[in-house]
């Protein structure tokens, strides 16, 4: 009776001839985690600045409203107070929207810089991993050919 070949042993020998190096995966994970940390820092900084700006804008608006809501002796003074309030709000809006645009511009610039740096790092890591894998495969192939 013929004996069945042990495919488990064959696969084990085959996989042993081509070892897997997990360090490149670990490096990629570390690089990704570092990138995420830096992107989070950019987002949190922008959120903090936006919150500060919104709070400042609200306080300024309330201050202007307080001036407008004071009792006046002459009815024409109410119209003037309303006009002054509208002018101040328009001016504050323009200034604050420009400040929000600067925050957004900084976020965009920082993000692009981080992505460019990460792309460069990942390209270098991938190149190094491919070179190492090629070297390991060549070494394994040479061992396999001399073992015959």
3-state SS class at 148: coil
The answer to whether position 67 is within a domain reads yes
The answer to whether position 1 is within a domain reads no
Q: What is the DSSP letter of 73?
A: S
Number of compact structural domains in the chain: 1
What number of CA atoms fall less than 13 Å from residue 53's CA on the CB side?
19
Q: What is the DSSP letter of 69?
A: T
Backbone angles phi, psi at 73, to 5 degrees: -85, -35
> What is the per-residue pLDDT for 4?
75
What's CA 51's distance to the chain center, in Å?
Answer: 19
| Count, residues in the chain | 148
Do the beta carbons of residue 21 and residue 132 sit within 8 Å? Answer: yes
> What is the per-residue pLDDT for 118?
84
The answer to whether position 30 is within a domain reads no
The answer to whether position 95 is within a domain reads yes
In order, the DSSP letters of 54-67 are HHHHHHHHHHHHHH
Mean pLDDT, 10 residues at a time, the chain of 148 residues: 74 71 76 91 97 96 92 91 94 96 96 88 76 78 68
> What is the per-residue pLDDT for 25?
73
The answer to whether position 22 is within a domain reads no
In whole angstroms, give the CA distance from residue 78 to residue 55: 27
The answer to whether position 17 is within a domain reads no
Please state the pTM of the whole predicted model: 0.66
> In which domain, by residue range, is 54 found?
44-146
Do the beta carbons of residue 25 and residue 122 sit within 8 Å? Answer: no
The answer to whether position 24 is within a domain reads no
The answer to whether position 3 is within a domain reads no
Buried b (16+ CB within 10 A) or exposed e, 35-54: beebbeebeeebeebeeebe
Q: Which spans in the chain are helix H?
A: 7-17, 23-68, 75-147
């Amino acid at each position: 009776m013929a004996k069945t070949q042990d495919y488990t042993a064959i696969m084990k020998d085959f996989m042993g001839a081509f070892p897997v190096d997990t360090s490149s995966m670990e490096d990629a994970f570390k690089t990704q985690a570092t990138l995420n940390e830096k992107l989070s820092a950019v987002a949190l900084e922008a959120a903090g600045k936006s919150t500060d700006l919104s709070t400042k804008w609200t306080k300024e608006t309330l201050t202007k409203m307080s001036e407008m809501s004071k009792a006046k002796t002459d009815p024409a003074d109410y119209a003037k107070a309303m006009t002054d309030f509208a002018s101040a709000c328009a001016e504050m809006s323009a200034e604050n929207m420009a400040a929000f645009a600067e925050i957004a511009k900084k976020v965009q610039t920082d993000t692009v810089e981080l992505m460019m740096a990460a792309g460069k790092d990942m390209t270098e890591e991938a190149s190094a991993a491919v070179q190492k894998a090629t070297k390991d495969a060549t070494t394994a192939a040479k061992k396999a050919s001399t073992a015959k």
